[in-house]
Amino acid sequence: MSRFFIILSALLLPLAGCKEAAPKPQATVAYDEREGRNLEMDVYLPSAPAAGLRPAVLLVHGGGWSAGHRRDFSWIGQWLATRGYVAFSTSYRLVTKDGNHWPAQLDDVQRSVRWIRAHAADYQIDPARIGALGASAGGHLVACLGMLDTRDNSEAALAAHSSRVACVVDLCGPTDLTEDMRKKVPKGEWCNGIIDALLGNTQREGAREASPLYLVDGKSAPFLIFHGSKDDIVPIDQSERLETALKAAGVEVELVTMDSGHNFANATQIQEFMKRTEKFLQTHLKPISPSP
């Protein structure tokens, strides 16, 4: 699933008119500590001063829940900053052979959102206007952010802050972890393996509780979903079924089907993604436009 980000970065670079390395964040902050190691977020800030409170977007990388890095979304973070958003690209605990099974990843991304709300004043952020964008495994995680209340609310310092986001941009995220992917896509056996690793068992115990498709209700956030019609890792019908479930619950949702695999195929698709994403975020987060 990590190849999505390699192709995304390669296509975004010429679109940005830049030949340099990926942009660096203005800051990196630690939002938690687990097993003696900091969990961190990169912060991308608009360069122009805001006339009021800004919206924010949490970025969640993919990589099969076991790989990838928050810097995979550096270009997206920088692009969002130019559009008036404060972007936070977060790390989360990655699955290993020894642990970090579900729901560790859910706890981490929920804590990321709550940390942003707790520190909203530091970044001139409106805590009511926080969205989330993720791809592949990150798409799965941001979908959960749009549907679930905080699972672990044990820390007093964050207890008053919700982990739900106001809107979700989901790029080809898996939504039904109960399925046998071998019956659906060429790389289904590999996909089955990373789902089993995430859950920590091969019987799919806990799969339904970890599946956005079965978490939909009328309180779910609005969704913008992108998925490739030729995806060989995550079946496109997982996004189609999520769209159907959200509509049935009365939730705003748009599914954009691309002529591609588990990634964008060309610069035209990247431009379409950027155009639709900007419109969607404007609708639901109403950013303050940066000064010329």
Tens-place pLDDT, residues 176-220: 999 999 989 999 999 999 999 999 999 999 999 999 999 999 999
Q: With pLDDT > 90 as the criterion, what percentage of the chain qualifies? A: 83
More confident residue, 272 or 23: 272
Query: Which domains are delineated in the chain?
Result: 3-284 (3.40.50.1820)
pLDDT at 110 over 80: yes
The predicted-structure confidence for 25-41, as pLDDT tens digits, reads as follows: 999 999 999 878 899 99
The per-residue pLDDT for 20 is 55
8 Å CB contact between 43 and 58? no
pTM of structure: 0.93
Helix (H, G, I), strand (E, B) or coil at 29: strand
The per-residue pLDDT for 51 is 83
List residues bridging with 60 in a β-sheet.
Answer: 90, 134
Task: Please tell me the distance from the alpha carbon of residue 161 to that of residue 143, in angstroms, as a whole number.
Answer: 19
The per-residue pLDDT for 287 is 78
Strand bridging mode 125-135 / 168-171: parallel
pLDDT at 9 over 60: no
The per-residue pLDDT for 49 is 84
Q: What's the longest Cα–Cα distance across the chain?
A: 56
The predicted-structure confidence for 215-271, as pLDDT tens digits, reads as follows: 999 999 999 999 999 999 999 999 999 999 999 999 999 999 999 999 999 999 999
Structure tokens at 125: 């952020």
Helix (H, G, I), strand (E, B) or coil at 86: strand
The predicted-structure confidence for 84-108, as pLDDT tens digits, reads as follows: 999 999 999 999 988 999 999 999 9
Confidence of residue 23 (pLDDT cuts 50, 70, 90): confident
Task: Please tell me the distance from the alpha carbon of residue 81 to that of residue 90, in angstroms, as a whole number.
Answer: 15
The per-residue pLDDT for 22 is 74
- The tally of CA atoms less than 13 A away on the side-chain side of residue 219 is 8
Q: What angle do CA 213, 135, 198 make, to 5 degrees?
A: 65
Confidence of residue 117 (pLDDT cuts 50, 70, 90): very high
More confident residue, 218 or 17: 218
Compute the average pLDDT of residues 273-285.
Answer: 97
Structure tokens at 49: 């001063």
pLDDT at 288 over 90: no
